Amino acid sequence: DAKTTQPPSMDCAEGRAANLPCNHSTISGNEYVYWYRQIHSQGPQYIIHGLKNNETNEMASLIITEDRKSSTLILPHATLRDTAVYYCIVTLNDYKLSFGAGTTVTVRA
């Protein structure tokens, strides 16, 4: 599976949009981009996934560049409860989730 690169940490203000970048320059044509997050003392929580097209659900939006070498997770209106570690995972098979260090997102009031 392709490797991903994420910034180790980022802050955002409550009520503002949070844009989380992820680089996956070696992604292959049939690999999916998955995003999970892990709030302190809880298990990871699925957010969203996509292959080529942009995706949106009740939690977030996923923007994938046309060359698929990078993506951005957008939390439209961040709240304090969105403080968590966010993992960007590229995988051929959905069961092979290789978690990296992720991005620690801190939402500040």
Partner 1 sequence: EAGVAQSPRYKIIEKRQSVAFWCNPISGHATLYWYQQILGQGPKLLIQFQNNGVVDDSQLPKDRFSAERLKGVDSTLKIQPAKLEDSAVYLCASSRSPPGKGQPQHFGDGTRLSIL
Nearer to partner 1, 29 or 43 (CB): 43
Nearer to partner 1, 79 or 98 (CB): 98
Nearer to partner 1, 46 or 108 (CB): 46
The minimum distance between CB 15 and partner 1, in angstroms, equals 27
The minimum distance between CB 54 and partner 1, in angstroms, equals 16
Residues 42-72 as b/e (b if ≥16 CB within 10 A, e otherwise) read eebeebbbbeeeebeeeebbbbbeeebebbe
Q: Which residues bind partner 1 (CB under 8 A)?
A: 32, 34, 41-46, 49, 87, 92-102
The minimum distance between CB 60 and partner 1, in angstroms, equals 13
Nearer to partner 1, 65 or 99 (CB): 99
Contacts with 70 (C-beta within 8 Å, 6 or more apart), sequence order:
21, 22, 23, 24, 25, 64
Residue with tokens 């097209």: 53
Give the H or E element holding residue 56: strand 55-56
- By DSSP bridging, strand 9-13 and strand 103-108 are parallel
The minimum distance between CB 42 and partner 1, in angstroms, equals 5
